[in-house]
Structure 1
Amino acid sequence: MQTYNNLVEATNDLMKRGYTENLSLEGDTVDDKEKKIKMTADDFEIDEFYRFEGASNPDDMSIIYAVNSPKYKLKGILVNAFGTYANNSKSAILAKLHHYQVNDHLK
């Protein structure tokens, strides 16, 4: 797994490696709004993820996921808050994302 100094550096490198779609977390789906695709937890895999703390506030954290979906033939980037500002919903999507965060030490 790569090491990045900040979110922009990670985003730029992932885009160079083919993660070109801009994905968003929308409740129980991860969406590619441009292509009008709504993916459930079973529709995608997380290839990589990286956490970043805010420069002035450690509670200002974000996480970037490199996501691929063989079903929809896409690779994209999902950026989400982590820590204090994270969405604490119990959706299957968030359970899947959280699973990767918690189990990253197993890689």
Structure 2
Amino acid sequence: MKVYDTVTEAMEDLRKRGYITDFNLVFDSIQCPEGNIRPEDFEITETYRFEGDTDPGDEAVVYGIETKSGIKGVLMYGYGVYSEDMSEDMIRKLGQR
């Protein structure tokens, strides 16, 4: 795994390597233009964690994701104070790496 100093640097490099779709987290799936994708239908291929030195709002995880149908993209998830509600299946999936 590579090491990045910033979220932006990680996302730019992932995009250069073919992770071009932007995924959004919804309660029990990830969402992209092709629709909602359930936890059993995607794999997390890369994970990068960033901790805010002074602002908890800067804490984030960037995931490189590939779906079973071959879509590659990124999901940025802010954890801590600003984290979102999600299903137990999504918690397990995103916490596995």
After TM superposition, the score normalised by the length of structure 1 is 0.81
Identical positions, percent: 32
Aligned residues of 1:27 and 1:91 also touching (Cα < 8 A): no
Q: Select the residue among 63, 72, 91 that pairs with 1:75.
A: 72
Which portions of structure 1, spanning 4 or more consecutive aligned residues, are displaced by more than 6 angstroms?
none
Distance 1:27 1:90 in 2: 6
Query: Equivalent residue for 2:10?
Result: 10
Segment drifting more, 87-96 vs 7-16: 87-96
User: Cα distance, 1:83 vs. partner?
Assistant: 2.3
Distance in 1 (CA, whole Å) between partners of 2:30 and 2:87 is: 14
Aligned residue pairs total 96
1:48-90, Cα deviation, whole Å (9 max, x unpaired)? 1111123531x22011000001x22100000011223223534
* Structure 1, gaps ≥5 residues long: 101-107
* 1:1-107 to 2 correspondences below 5 Å: 1-32=1-32, 34-35=33-34, 37-57=35-55, 59-60=56-57, 61-69=59-67, 71-100=68-97
- CA RMSD across the alignment: 1.5
